[in-house]
Structure 1
Amino acid sequence: MTVPAFEEYVPASDCTCAGCAVQRRTAAAVLPTRQGGHPAAHGARRALVLVTAAGVVLSGGLAEAATGAAGPGRVTDPAPGADPAADPASAPDAVTADPVMPDDPEDAADPADPGPDSPQGGPGPLQGAGASGPPAGTPTLRKTTRADIINRAKKWVAAQVPYSMSKYWLDGYRQDCSGYLSMAWDLPGNEWTGSLASYGTRIARADLQPGDMLLFHNPADPSKGSHVTIFGGWTDYTHTHYTAYEQTMPHTRKQTTPMAYWTHSSSYVAYRYTGLTTETGGSSSTRAFPGAGQFGPGANNAHVTELGKLLVERGGKRFYKVGPGPAWGSADQQATAAFQKAQGWKGKEADGIPGPDTWRLLTTGTGNDIPAAGGTGTGGSTATPAYPGRGNFRTGQSNSHVDRLGKQLVKKGYGKYYLSGPGPRWGEADRRNVEAFQKAQGWRGAEADGYPGPETWRRLFA
């Protein structure tokens, strides 16, 4: 009996039929050994091919062989960087595998789009820069604006830049997620998920603004889930979804994404580019603090007008019956003091005269907005109530503070553990919802134990 000869089939990258699509996904599931894949996986694959051949010989028919080769398992979604079209060398070595389930039930927002699960390119220069590694010493910070960051991000979306860990786009940046962020932030070289944080300042998720990044770096195994997205703005008032710009399979995309991501959501940390300015048009200069002498009784200059406009943008409009204008008045001082108090400052730190820190927060768009009075305005829904103390949030406690806490958690989108209520009696549902809120701030360990402290309370009601 003649043994049929088997020849491995590599699907065309541009074929849209279902069979080729499945074959491409299967080929993308595992990287080859030469690119860091595990030899055992390829051994299993070769065994699968031999079993398939034996099934054909014994059965005498190709149909039975096809059934045996498919098997009962499911095919995982492709890992970014392993697409044969983007990295042809990865196509011949693949194995069918069951999908990897998320570590936490809350990470399973959309099993159909689990996100990237692939090694990222390491830090290095732009293509053709001549160096073999990242610049030494303190990272270089090029000044840029939020508008410039988003506009650069949109260019790759419009061009549908294909995902690749080894290829570089026309602008010299590597075509993976960290290369995309490096391009959008205008970094001097190609970074990776393990180095991007050095170019940013960690912020709370509640403070995210367009151009900030959400970063998950897995130090134990960087090839397992590490990813970064660019925050493009909230898509709803609950702040549970946002517009994400990201580089993933098969190409750059912009889409509504659960906060913070489809998988490993609780592990994503928000960062703001340290070199950010609020100037428009890509100016390289920051708005330096003009000095305390430019503000206060008797001052009359353009800096006072600029201060007033910044305060109005941050929730201080109610203090101004007219203006803002160049002549310093009580409205300027009251609005400045309200902004300072919103940061948790007291005494001389909240005297209504702007110093360097007040000016920096206003001109960079960071810090807390001015709470609105009477439940209206852009600064927040209510003035922040005073923190009542830890003793009110323990097993067996029943009081109005627990009820207020629960209602605010629901309002902020952190009420999924309530089967009924919330109510005045402290329970496990309250603790788990508080824990989810704390983790969303990037806190871990004792900082995210589910029991609200002063900072949790302030951020929750800010």
Structure 2
Amino acid sequence: MLMEFTDVEPDADCVCGGCASRRRARLHAARIEDGGHRSARGARRAAVLVAAVGSVLGGAGGATAAPAPQPNSGTPIPDTPQGGVSGLHGESTTAPRLRAAQPATTRAEIMQRAQRWVDQQVPYSMSRYWSDGYRQDCSGFVSMAWNLGSSQTTWTLPNFADRISKDDLQPGDALIYNNPANPESGSHVVLFGGWTDSSRTRYVALEQTRPATTKRSTPYAYWSNSGSYLPYRYRGLSQPMPVPDAFPGTDKFGPGKVNPYVTRLGEMLVQRGGGRFYREGPSPDWGEADRRATEAFQLAQGWRGAEADGIPGKDTWDYLVNHRGKDIPPAAAGTSPPAPSTTTPPAPPAPPAPAGFPGADRFRPGQVNDFVRLLGEQLVRKGYGRYYTEGPSPDWGEADRRNVEAFQRAQGWSGAEADGYPGPDTWKLLFG
């Protein structure tokens, strides 16, 4: 006999705790197509129907039960498609998308807002908006935590932040991965909640992922695509970390370093006559301009050899902080660096042909090696150097990636084949 049981829904004006809880659950439940679940009544009805039909078929001789779903024991990979830039509750927005003054907030407030979603277990959705107005996907979650007043995307969140290094990560900062092959569905962002071990191999990640907001220990930088996540700090912090006058150590300066000490060094060098070395900045990213300006200041003090290598030591820092010594002299006539140009820089002499593709790991954020320089010089020689404002240099940067992407697209490639990172085929076409 086939039977169906029906739950009785409570009256809308019932004030008991159970009814109120069920009404809240229905109000904020995700749609089934967004990863939500059927209502309790629908689930029970389906279960009863299946059980009844199963008993009838079993009595007739022969249906086998479907195997129970197995838990996912593999590495968690975010399934987090995101919506576009939008205002609160999905309204159109004129929120700034370029570098501009941002609403002030503190780290404590960022973490409190993020924890609120964790506590409420906000369901994941790329199209729905929570009661505070923010879209219920990964980028909407960080937009909410940073109190941006609009829901951004993983591609626009960096416009509200500054790049930092792994060593400078603090609670409230973000780790962003943008997948050029699938910008909407392949990208992800998490909020950094603090290190869980002294070796800094795991951290607390607060993130919006299916089925709902979670807070968990995570390997740095993430379960998948670990090497492509970049750390950012919200620019509107009202209590930014001060840069002390004490010398931070030579390990804060040099290729691949990204931290506030590099910015302060550049600012002090500009005050001492080093502005001509910077075409843009100073910024937290160490670059050739920082090295040349530092070297010029050291030479102005009469230092030579290892004392004028372009890397600030304790004496260089002390002279700059306390405004001691001589300023950087103006460039001699005819020796000023060329003005910024939008044209492709001239091609350098041809380098020796490399023996073969050195490996994809040579061309990633933070990598500094001669293969990066050789790649950049060959791109310029082939006519794909328009994104360089200085260099090419041994430091892998966004200009390298964009020039490689332009070359790949010129070959008719697209998607993952034109992600801006050279592989064996790209290398062969460039140097073959």
Question: Normalising TM by the smaller chain, what interval?
Answer: 0.3 to 0.5
* TM-score, with structure 1 as normaliser: 0.43
